[in-house]
């Protein structure tokens, strides 16, 4: 894996910059423990963190379907990435009710109308 140093930008800014370049970034502490969401210092120790790029493969850890009046249902899923961190997202390309715990997924970075790149997942 590559490490990156993008200057003095905020952790969120660095994360977003990676997304705009099609990469899912996370951080690691000195022991190799994955840290997410991005932050200034390691949990508990406050030590410096290094940026890494995820391979984007993971497993659905938990999922639910959201139903709203006059809208299509959608899923919200907690994805456990192979590098050892979890993130909230959604699984696209399948019906929300077909997303299941243990499903293998691959990240896809999309650019919605809002203008900010976001990571979603596709079933493998």
Express each pLDDT in 48-87 by its tens digit.
Answer: 999 999 999 999 999 999 999 999 999 999 999 999 999 9
Question: Residue 18 has what DSSP assignment?
Answer: H
- Output the pTM of the full model: 0.88
Beta strands 104-110 and 118-123 are antiparallel
Confidence of residue 2 (pLDDT cuts 50, 70, 90): very low
Q: Which residue segment(s) compose the domain that 30 sits in?
A: 3-123
Query: Which structure tokens are listed for 68?
Result: 């709203």
Structural domains in the chain (count): 1
Long-range contacts of 109-114, Cβ-Cβ distance < 8 Å, separation of 24 or more:
109/19, 109/22, 109/23, 109/24
Instruction: Report the SS3 class of residue 23.
Output: coil
41 close to 50: Cβ distance less than 8 angstroms: no
CATH of the domain at 59: 2.40.50.840
Query: ω before 78 within 30° of 0 (cis)?
Result: no
5-9, 10-14, 68-72, 101-105: which has the minimum mean pLDDT?
5-9
Express each pLDDT in 85-116 by its tens digit.
Answer: 999 999 999 999 999 999 999 999 999 887 88
């Amino acid at each position: 894996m590559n490490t990156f140093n993008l200057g003095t930008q905020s952790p969120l800014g660095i994360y977003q910059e990676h997304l705009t370049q099609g990469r899912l970034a996370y951080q690691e502490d000195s022991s190799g423990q994955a840290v997410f969401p991005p932050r200034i210092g390691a949990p508990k120790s406050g030590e410096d963190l290094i940026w890494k790029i995820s391979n984007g493969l993971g497993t659905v850890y938990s999922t639910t379907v959201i139903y709203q009046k006059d809208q299509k249902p959608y899923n919200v899923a907690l994805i456990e990435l192979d590098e050892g961190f979890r993130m909230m997202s959604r699984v696209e390309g399948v019906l929300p009710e077909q997303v299941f715990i243990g499903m293998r997924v691959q990240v896809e970075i999309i650019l919605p109308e809002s203008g900010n790149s976001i990571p979603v997942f596709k079933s493998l």
